[in-house]
Structures are given as C-alpha cells and as structure tokens.
C-alpha cells in the first residue's frame, strides 16, 4: 500500500505528458493548378554507357518522393529512393513497404508505367512520377513506349483515400 501513491502520481504525470503532446504541424505545399510537373529539379549525368539521372522531388500531402535511376547499355539497372513520404509515422511505414515492390516492378517492366501498390497509392504515383522525370532527363524511352504521368498525385475520395479499413486511411502515403 505504500507504493500506491507513488504509482498514482507517476500515472498522473505520464497522462498529463501524453495529453500535452502536440504533433509537429506540417505546412502543406500547394501546387499550382496549371501544372505540378515533376520535371523541375531533375538532373542527369553520363559516363560511357552509364547514365544516372535524378528525378524531380514530387510533393504530396504525405511528403516528397524522389528517385535516382541508373541506366546501363539502354536498360534500367538500378533505382534508388532519395526521398519517400515521411510526414507521418504511418506514411514512413507504408512507403518503406511499397518502395521495394515499386522498384522491382519498374526494373522488370523497364518503365515508369508501373502498377500502384495496394494501400500505397500516393507513394506509388509519386514514385512513378519522379522515376518518369528521371527517365525523361536521361532521354530513356521504354521499349513499349509506355510512360507514367509526371504530375503530383493528390488525395481524392474517388480513389479510396477517405479513411476506413483497406482504403488507405487518413495517413496513406
């Protein structure tokens, strides 16, 4: 019974700390309605038969996505994520799970026209847009001529981002 007051005080202090916690506020970036293309900020360098190109950082409500692609002998050989959506802890978790799948899909298709990963629609679209930006900068054209949109994806109720189970939820990234 002597420990009860100590436990009670510790519980009150911890509860107060939790209630006073303020998550960091994120200032959303507003893209112009005329164009939010991913061609801005893209760079490329060539060394022999190897071209390395960095796609533009594609801004979404969950954070930026940016990739670097390596092309050797006319084939995409590597894609490295430089930035992934990270405005919320769940965005980081979703993006970390989706990026390896997106990379493998792009390498196998040799294109940025890749399918979205279920539950990571915004990450998928912004990854594809940054990758397409990098491929455009490198002068790479997919064998089948396919391309991905280079516009920043936005949250939309018609794409299942309204919350709830299995629909991406409010932190879909």
Nearest to 125 by CA among 27, 36, 33, 29: 36
Higher-pLDDT residue of 74, 150: 74
Give the alpha-carbon dihedral of 41, 69, 47, 108, to 10 degrees.
-150
**Digit-coded pLDDT (tens) for 46-69:** 888 899 999 999 999 999 999 999
Alpha-carbon dihedral sign for residues 125, 131, 136, 141:
negative
Residue 33 has pLDDT above 80, yes or no: no
pTM: 0.66
**Residue owning tokens 């455009």:** 136
């Amino acid at each position: 019974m002597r420990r009860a007051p100590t436990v009670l005080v510790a519980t009150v202090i911890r509860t107060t700390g939790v209630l006073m916690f303020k998550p960091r506020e994120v200032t959303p970036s507003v893209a112009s309605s005329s164009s939010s293309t991913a061609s801005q900020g893209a760079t490329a360098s060539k060394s022999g038969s190897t071209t390395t190109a960095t796609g533009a950082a594609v801004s979404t409500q969950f954070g930026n996505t940016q990739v670097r692609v390596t092309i050797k002998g006319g084939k995409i050989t590597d894609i490295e994520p430089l930035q992934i959506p990270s405005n919320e802890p769940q965005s980081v978790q979703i993006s970390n799970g989706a990026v390896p799948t997106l990379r493998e899909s792009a390498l196998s298709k040799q294109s940025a026209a890749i399918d979205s990963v279920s539950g990571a629609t915004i990450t998928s679209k912004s990854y594809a847009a940054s990758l397409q930006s990098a491929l455009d900068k490198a002068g790479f054209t997919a064998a089948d001529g396919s391309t991905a949109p280079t516009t920043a994806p936005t949250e939309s109720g018609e794409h299942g981002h309204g919350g709830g189970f299995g629909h991406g939820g409010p932190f879909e990234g």
